């Protein structure tokens, strides 16, 4: 028997970026409005439920400053008067669509003008989704004693807003929780520039990252790349990334850095040499600091491509400058954040 | 010796045997299937019975307006996915979902329209069941009542089967059910006019409820053909039931005459609940709503603790002792088929698997693999910690006992003797060997034994030869 699978969907509902996405500009030849996006999304969600009766679904919305659960197939309110049975529609689809649309409408109504500036709470939604998966995996394994516990969980992030460097550490922590739970994170960038952090999230959890070129064919993208459960993906050529941006954000200014300085004790990342590590309070010799400062490249703004650049560690304890463009770099940073 | 591996990897998982209904659908004509695909609910249910890769293929094509070249699609599967992909295409072609073609791929237009409609909703087909107007006098039963009803009906049937040979007299299921059991060869009438379970009936008992249900329903569909019922109507009604919501009542007015006639039968099997035979609404039970899913079709067994059906209750030790935590008479009766029961407690049965008990089961036509798979399916959660799940000694011994029985194999055929000369004998034998029908030969006695299907040829050959000689 093929196993049921769980899909957690994190939908970016940032009003500012949806406005940008729906307006036709020189760079945005095929505008996609939130409304048509949602109709594509609902069909995709229905397809997931259609594939198997036991498939479960949870949808989370990312709003300015907060995150909300839009729908969960496990906590279904059956006695809802709005969901009167209809002879022409499969009832679970109807309940799903109605609930998602209603919750989105409720929350979007409540948005005020002040909310436009606040960045979306992506991390909150991602964390809630992981907690939700954790709950269903633990309860289902307790219930069935491991025999049907393989629900093959995965998360799909539909993002329109750019990275916020402030959320680097929490995102990395979420990635590591996902790895621990064996959750695959798929990322679909519907609008906007490539997201460094989400690329890493997809790469580190074995998911796929897709930047949509033609927004009008969104449904076909979603169906072909994100509908197959991880179980059968080895049979299919699902899109993978050939280029991944592994840059990390520094712990001091939350800036994405090309070259960082890593504390040799706790592996915290800094954009400039510091006398005392802010995480573990290790003091570095003044000599090392001077040497590192002298060796820093003249340009302070990070440039995109840099050749591998590893400074040989002189003496310990010192802060070793490394190119934070390697897997090690980002993992080290996240391990640090986990404490 | 193969042992049952529960934690099969995903690749073999996706190669699980296709659903029993699909084989039936494949035997139907293209026109019948196209008629079936007119209903969105039927499309959705058939879609769910397919394997994951087949479902994904359909999904890929569902929203495309034009056909796509074969080469484009095959670029989408990886090297190791090639074989499953080809298998999927041929299955879908046999179901007439993706017409067979060497150059282009596209969904059957009817199927595409209906599945799109099923997923997006809307339309006016009413194929997901018209909900009944609330009837204040007879409110629809709650889920617990429905479950109890379905379980009672289903266990009555099984219990009747299992105890038919033992001289007990449990409640009889209705006449139609008995007829169906007889027609499907699960039970047969003995000389005294009493129904007696057959060997395939014993095998039936060891299947899981889902398979049992479909086996009976398929038999029902075969009978429907003979009863001049419209097969497509019957089939689409079953598939419609599987998409209905448990605990809701649906109106009977929109059903076709065939489907109205089916209500009585389905009530007998416990698939639907009706206030009385003339009621204008019906409620599907869990047996019906889980037809196309793999969740357990029966609720927890009565009298036993929660979840005994899906959790299992059997503990088997290496010393052939078996403990079954159940007080369900049906489960005990089934165990009694191949276990020597020693003691019974309020919630526990103790027994042992012995040579005699297994031989008895084998004589009834049950195979060793069926016993092992039954024990695996209903193993107690504590047993699931073992690897392999069942003690290897016991598994092997059960299989050895089966081999013991199979020492002598019989085969029908003809013995050719009294050849006039050695040359004649060798000439005919050569011919028979070419046909690959020789089962045994003895050159010194100039005779050989050929299988039944080769007889006509050999006989003709000999006749021709004698005619040539004369």
pLDDT digits (tens, 9 = 90+) for B315-337: 999 999 999 998 888 888 888 88
Question: Which of B301, B326, B394 lies closest to B355 in space, CA to CA?
Answer: B394
Whether residues A221 and A292 share a domain: the answer is no
Q: Decide if A279 is inside a domain.
A: yes
More confident call, A257 vs B350: B350
Confirm or reject contact between B292 and chain A (CB < 8 A): yes
More confident call, B412 vs B225: B412
Q: Which of A202, A233, A264 is the last residue of a domain?
A: A233
Whether residues B417 and B401 share a domain: the answer is no
Confirm or reject contact between B124 and chain A (CB < 8 A): yes
Q: ipTM surpassing 0.90, yes or no?
A: no
More confident call, A330 vs B164: B164
Whether residues A109 and A256 share a domain: the answer is no
pLDDT > 90 in chain B, percent = 10
Whether residues B40 and B161 share a domain: the answer is no
Confirm or reject contact between B41 and chain A (CB < 8 A): yes
> Looking at A131-145, B154-168, B385-399, B415-429, which range is the least confident one?
A131-145
Shortest Cα distance, chain B CAs vs residue A240, angstroms: 13
Whether residues A175 and A311 share a domain: the answer is no
Confidence of residue B227 (pLDDT cuts 50, 70, 90): confident
Q: What is residue A85's predicted lDDT score, i.e. its pLDDT? A: 61
Confirm or reject contact between B377 and chain A (CB < 8 A): no
Report the C-alpha dihedral over residues B273, B276, B281, B286, rounded to 10 degrees.
Answer: 0
Q: What is residue A126's predicted lDDT score, i.e. its pLDDT? A: 93
Whether residues A175 and A223 share a domain: the answer is yes
* Range(s) of the domain holding residue A222: 6-233
**Number of alpha carbons in the 13 Å side-chain half-sphere of residue B439:** 15
Expressed in angstroms, the distance from the first to the final Cα of chain A is 41
Q: How many Å separate Cα B342 from the centre of its chain?
A: 32
The span from the CA of A234 to the CA of B81, in Å, is 7
Contact A234 B290 (CB under 8 A): no
Whether residues A13 and A52 share a domain: the answer is yes
> Looking at A17-21, A217-221, B161-165, B364-368, which range is the least confident one?
B161-165
The span from the CA of A233 to the CA of B48, in Å, is 19
Confidence of residue B299 (pLDDT cuts 50, 70, 90): low
How do the residues of chain A divide into helix, strand and coil, expressed in percent and rounded to 5? 40, 15, 40
CA B315-B317-B323 angle, 5° bins: 35
Q: What is the pLDDT of residues B69-112, one digit of tens each?
A: 888 888 888 888 888 888 888 889 988 988 887 788 888 889 99
Q: What is the pLDDT of residues B26-77, one digit of tens each?
A: 888 888 899 999 988 899 999 988 888 889 989 988 988 888 888 888 888 8
How do the residues of chain B divide into helix, strand and coil, expressed in percent and rounded to 5? 50, 10, 40
Mean pLDDT of chain A: 79
Confirm or reject contact between B42 and chain A (CB < 8 A): no
Of residues A43, A52, A88, nearest to B128 (C-beta): A88
Q: Decide if B301 is inside a domain.
A: no
Chain A, 179 to 238: residues with Cβ < 8 Å from chain B are 219-220, 223-224, 227-232, 234-237
Residue B2 has pLDDT above 80, yes or no: no
DSSP lists the bridge partners of residue B322 as B316, B351
Contact A90 B121 (CB under 8 A): yes
pLDDT > 90 in chain A, percent = 18
Confirm or reject contact between A3 and chain B (CB < 8 A): yes
Whether residues B238 and B188 share a domain: the answer is yes
**Into how many domains does chain B fold?**
4
Residue A273 has pLDDT above 70, yes or no: yes
Residue A239 has pLDDT above 70, yes or no: yes
Contact B245 A85 (CB under 8 A): yes
Residue B261 has pLDDT above 60, yes or no: yes
Helices (H), A148-210: 168-181, 196-205
Mean pLDDT value of segment B283-295: 81
Residue A79 has pLDDT above 60, yes or no: no
Mean pLDDT of chain B: 82
Using CA coordinates, name the residue in chain B closest to A46: B119
Q: Which of A207, A233, A259 is the last residue of a domain?
A: A233
Q: Is residue B324 within 8 Å of B349, Cβ to Cβ?
A: yes
Q: Decide if B126 is inside a domain.
A: no
Q: How many Å separate Cα A328 from the centre of its chain?
A: 20
Whether residues A210 and A263 share a domain: the answer is no
Show residues of chain B in contact with A43, CB under 8 Å: 119-120
Q: What is residue A174's predicted lDDT score, i.e. its pLDDT? A: 93
Whether residues A184 and A285 share a domain: the answer is no
Q: Decide if A290 is inside a domain.
A: yes
Confidence of residue A8 (pLDDT cuts 50, 70, 90): very high
Whether residues B234 and B270 share a domain: the answer is yes
Confirm or reject contact between B310 and chain A (CB < 8 A): yes
Q: Decide if B5 is inside a domain.
A: no
Whether residues B322 and B443 share a domain: the answer is no
Q: What is the pLDDT of residues A139-159, one digit of tens each?
A: 755 444 444 445 688 999 999
Q: What is the pLDDT of residues A171-209, one digit of tens each?
A: 999 999 999 988 999 999 988 888 888 998 999 998 889
Cβ neighbourhood burial of B373 (10 Å; 0-12, 13-18, 19+): middle
Whether residues A50 and A126 share a domain: the answer is yes
What is the b/e burial string over A297-313, where b = at least 16 CB atoms within 10 angstroms of the residue's CB? eeeeeeeeeeeeeebee
Confidence of residue A334 (pLDDT cuts 50, 70, 90): very low
**A&B contacts, CB < 8 Å:** 141
Q: Which of A233, A267, A290 is the last residue of a domain?
A: A233
CA distances from A38 to A12, A43, A173 (A): 11, 9, 29
Residues 6+ apart with CB under 8 A from A138: none
CA distances from B259 to B29, B34, B238 (A): 21, 19, 9
Q: Decide if B137 is inside a domain.
A: no
Residue A84 has pLDDT above 70, yes or no: no
Q: Decide if B134 is inside a domain.
A: no
Confirm or reject contact between B62 and chain A (CB < 8 A): yes
Shortest Cα distance, chain A CAs vs residue B432, angstroms: 45
Of residues B44, B81, B295, nearest to A236 (C-beta): B81
Q: What is residue B304's predicted lDDT score, i.e. its pLDDT? A: 35
Cβ neighbourhood burial of B354 (10 Å; 0-12, 13-18, 19+): middle
Q: Decide if A163 is inside a domain.
A: yes
Contact A54 B129 (CB under 8 A): no
Confirm or reject contact between B141 and chain A (CB < 8 A): no
**Into how many domains does chain A fold?**
2
Confidence of residue A299 (pLDDT cuts 50, 70, 90): low
Q: Decide if B296 is inside a domain.
A: no
Show residues of chain A in contact with B310, CB under 8 Å: 144, 148
Going by DSSP bridges, is the β-strand pair A319-323/B68-69 parallel, antiparallel, or unpaired? unpaired
Q: Decide if B99 is inside a domain.
A: yes
* Range(s) of the domain holding residue B400: 308-405
Confirm or reject contact between B248 and chain A (CB < 8 A): yes
Whether residues A170 and A253 share a domain: the answer is no
Whether residues B154 and B103 share a domain: the answer is no
Q: What is residue A321's predicted lDDT score, i.e. its pLDDT? A: 43
Q: Decide if A243 is inside a domain.
A: no
Of residues B55, B78, B84, nearest to A237 (C-beta): B78
Show residues of chain A in contact with B44, CB under 8 Å: 50, 90
Q: What is residue B328's predicted lDDT score, i.e. its pLDDT? A: 82
Neighbours of B167 (CB within 10 A): 6
Shortest Cα distance, chain B CAs vs residue A24, angstroms: 25
Q: What is residue A187's predicted lDDT score, i.e. its pLDDT? A: 92
Whether residues B280 and B322 share a domain: the answer is no
Q: What is residue A333's predicted lDDT score, i.e. its pLDDT? A: 42
CA distances from A232 to A180, A219, A227, A228, B52 (A): 21, 20, 10, 6, 7
**Mutation for testing the B interface, residue in A3, A48, A90 having most B CBs under 10 Å:** A90
Q: What is the pLDDT of residues A110-127, one digit of tens each?
A: 888 887 778 888 999 999
Whether residues B366 and B349 share a domain: the answer is yes
Q: Decide if A1 is inside a domain.
A: no
Whether residues B436 and B401 share a domain: the answer is no
Q: What is the DSSP string of B376-409?
A: HHTB-GGGGGSSSSS-HHHHHHHHHHHHHHTTS-
Q: What is residue B388's predicted lDDT score, i.e. its pLDDT? A: 84
DSSP lists the bridge partners of residue A184 as A154
Chain A, 16 to 35: residues with Cβ < 8 Å from chain B are none
Q: What is residue A59's predicted lDDT score, i.e. its pLDDT? A: 93
Q: Decide if A240 is inside a domain.
A: no
Whether residues A253 and A184 share a domain: the answer is no
Confidence of residue A301 (pLDDT cuts 50, 70, 90): very low
Q: How many Å separate Cα B216 from the centre of its chain?
A: 9
Q: What is the pLDDT of residues B370-404, one digit of tens each?
A: 889 888 888 888 888 888 888 999 999 999 999 88
Residues 6+ apart with CB under 8 A from B127: A87, A88, B39, B40, B41, B42, B236, B240
Confidence of residue A316 (pLDDT cuts 50, 70, 90): very low
Confirm or reject contact between A117 and chain B (CB < 8 A): no
Q: What is residue A295's predicted lDDT score, i.e. its pLDDT? A: 81
Q: Which of B374, B405, B436 is the last residue of a domain?
A: B405
Shortest Cα distance, chain B CAs vs residue A60, angstroms: 21
Whether residues B340 and B274 share a domain: the answer is no
Whether residues B281 and B212 share a domain: the answer is yes
Q: What is residue B16's predicted lDDT score, i.e. its pLDDT? A: 54
Whether residues B172 and B201 share a domain: the answer is yes
Contact A91 B128 (CB under 8 A): yes
DSSP lists the bridge partners of residue B197 as B187
Q: What is residue A323's predicted lDDT score, i.e. its pLDDT? A: 43
Whether residues A254 and A136 share a domain: the answer is no
Confirm or reject contact between A313 and chain B (CB < 8 A): no
Q: What is residue A148's predicted lDDT score, i.e. its pLDDT? A: 44
Q: What is residue A177's predicted lDDT score, i.e. its pLDDT? A: 92
CATH no. for residue A105? 3.40.50.410
CATH no. for residue B426? 3.30.70.2610
Residue A339 has pLDDT above 60, yes or no: no
Q: What is the largest distance, in Å, between two alpha-carbon atoms of chain A? A: 79
Residue B424 has pLDDT above 60, yes or no: yes
Contact A3 B60 (CB under 8 A): no
Q: What is the pLDDT of residues A18-53, one digit of tens each?
A: 888 888 887 777 888 888 999 999 999 999 999 888
Whether residues A75 and A219 share a domain: the answer is yes
DSSP lists the bridge partners of residue B338 as none
Q: How many residues does chain A have?
A: 339
Q: Decide if B109 is inside a domain.
A: yes
Q: Decide if A241 is inside a domain.
A: no
The span from the CA of B469 to the CA of B24, in Å, is 53
Find out whether the peptide bond into A263 is cis, omega within 30 degrees of 0: no
Contact A232 B10 (CB under 8 A): yes
Q: What is residue A77's predicted lDDT score, i.e. its pLDDT? A: 53
Mean pLDDT value of segment A287-311: 61
Q: Which of B376, B405, B434 is the last residue of a domain?
A: B405
Question: Which of B98, B125, B87, B88 lies closest to B33 in space, CA to CA?
Answer: B98
């Amino acid at each position: 028997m093929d196993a049921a699978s769980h899909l957690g969907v994190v939908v970016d509902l940032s009003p500012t970026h949806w406005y940008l996405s729906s307006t036709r500009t020189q760079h945005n030849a095929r505008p996609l409005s939130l409304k048509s996006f949602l109709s594509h999304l609902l069909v995709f969600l229905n397809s997931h439920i259609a594939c198997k009766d036991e498939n479960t679904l949870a949808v989370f919305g990312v709003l300015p400053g907060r995150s909300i659960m839009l729908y969960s197939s496990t906590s279904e309110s059956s006695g809802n008067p709005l969901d009167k049975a209809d002879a022409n529609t499969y009832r679970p689809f109807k309940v799903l669509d109605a609930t998602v649309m209603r919750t989105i409408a409720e929350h979007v109504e409540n948005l005020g003008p002040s909310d436009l500036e606040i960045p979306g709470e992506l991390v909150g939604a991602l964390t809630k989704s992981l907690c939700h998966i954790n709950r269903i995996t633990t309860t289902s394994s307790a219930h069935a004693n491991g025999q049907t516990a393989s629900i093959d969980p995965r998360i799909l992030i539909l993002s329109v807003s750019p990275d916020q460097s402030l959320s680097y550490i929490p995102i990395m922590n979420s990635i590591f929780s996902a790895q621990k739970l064996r959750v695959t994170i798929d990322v679909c960038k519907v609008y906007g520039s490539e997201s460094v952090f989400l690329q890493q999230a997809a790469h580190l959890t074995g998911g796929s990252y897709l930047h949509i070129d033609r927004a009008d064919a969104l449904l076909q993208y979603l169906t072909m790349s994100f509908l197959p459960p991880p179980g059968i993906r080895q049979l299919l050529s699902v899109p993978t990334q050939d280029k991944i941006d592994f840059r990390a954000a520094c712990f001091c200014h939350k800036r994405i850095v090309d070259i960082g300085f890593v504390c040799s004790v706790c592996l915290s990342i800094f954009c400039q040499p510091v006398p005392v590590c802010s995480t573990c309070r290790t003091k570095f010799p003044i000599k090392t600091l001077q040497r590192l400062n002298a060796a820093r490249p003249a340009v302070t703004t990070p440039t995109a491509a840099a050749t591998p650049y590893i400074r040989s560690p002189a003496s310990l304890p010192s802060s070793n400058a490394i190119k934070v463009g390697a897997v090690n770099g980002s993992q080290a940073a996240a391990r640090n954040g986990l404490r | 010796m193969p042992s049952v591996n529960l934690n099969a990897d995903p690749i073999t998982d996706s190669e699980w045997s296709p659903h029993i209904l699909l084989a039936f659908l494949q035997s139907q004509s293209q026109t019948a299937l196209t008629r079936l695909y007119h209903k969105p609910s039927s499309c959705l249910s058939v879609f769910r019975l397919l394997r994951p890769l087949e479902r994904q293929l359909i999904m890929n094509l569902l929203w495309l307006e034009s056909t796509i070249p074969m080469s484009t699609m095959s670029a989408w599967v990886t090297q190791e996915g090639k074989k499953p992909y080809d298998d999927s295409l041929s299955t879908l072609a046999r179901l007439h979902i993706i017409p067979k073609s060497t150059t282009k791929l596209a969904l059957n237009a009817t199927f595409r329209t209906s599945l799109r409609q099923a997923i997006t909703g809307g339309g006016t087909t009413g194929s997901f069941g018209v909900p009944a107007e609330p009837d204040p006098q007879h409110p629809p039963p709650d889920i617990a009542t429905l479950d109890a009803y379905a379980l009672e009906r289903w266990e009555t049937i099984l219990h009747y089967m299992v105890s038919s040979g033992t001289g007990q007299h449990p409640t009889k299921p209705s006449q139609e059910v008995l007829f169906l059991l007889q027609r499907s060869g699960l039970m047969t009438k003995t000389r005294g006019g009493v129904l007696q379970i057959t060997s395939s009936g014993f095998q039936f008992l060891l299947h899981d409820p889902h398979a049992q249900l479909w086996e009976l329903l398929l038999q029902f569909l075969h009978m429907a053909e003979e009863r001049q019922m419209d097969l497509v109507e019957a089939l689409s009604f079953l598939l419609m039931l599987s998409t209905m919501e448990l605990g809701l009542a649906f109106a009977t007015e929109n059903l076709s005459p065939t489907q109205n006639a089916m209500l009585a039968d389905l009530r007998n099997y416990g698939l639907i609940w009706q206030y009385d035979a003339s009621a204008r609404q019906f409620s599907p039970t869990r047996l019906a709503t889980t037809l196309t899913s793999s969740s357990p079709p029966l609720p927890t067994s009565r009298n036993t603790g929660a979840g005994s059906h899906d959790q299992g209750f059997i503990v088997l030790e290496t010393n052939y002792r078996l403990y079954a935590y159940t007080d369900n008479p049906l489960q005990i009766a089934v165990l009694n088929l191949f276990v020597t029961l020693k003691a019974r407690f309020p919630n526990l049965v103790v027994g042992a698997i012995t040579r005699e008990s297994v031989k008895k089961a084998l004589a009834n036509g049950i195979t060793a693999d069926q016993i092992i798979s039954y024990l695996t399916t209903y193993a107690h959660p504590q047993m699931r910690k073992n690897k392999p799940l069942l003690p290897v000694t016991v598994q092997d011994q059960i299989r050895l006992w089966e081999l013991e029985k199979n020492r002598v194999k019989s085969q029908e055929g003809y013995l050719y003797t009294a050849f006039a000369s050695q040359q004649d004998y060798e000439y005919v034998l050569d011919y028979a060997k070419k046909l690959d029908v020789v089962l045994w030969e003895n050159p010194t006695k100039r005779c050989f034994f050929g299988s039944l299907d080769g007889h006509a040829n050999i006989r003709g050959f000999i006749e021709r030869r004698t005619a040539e000689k004369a």
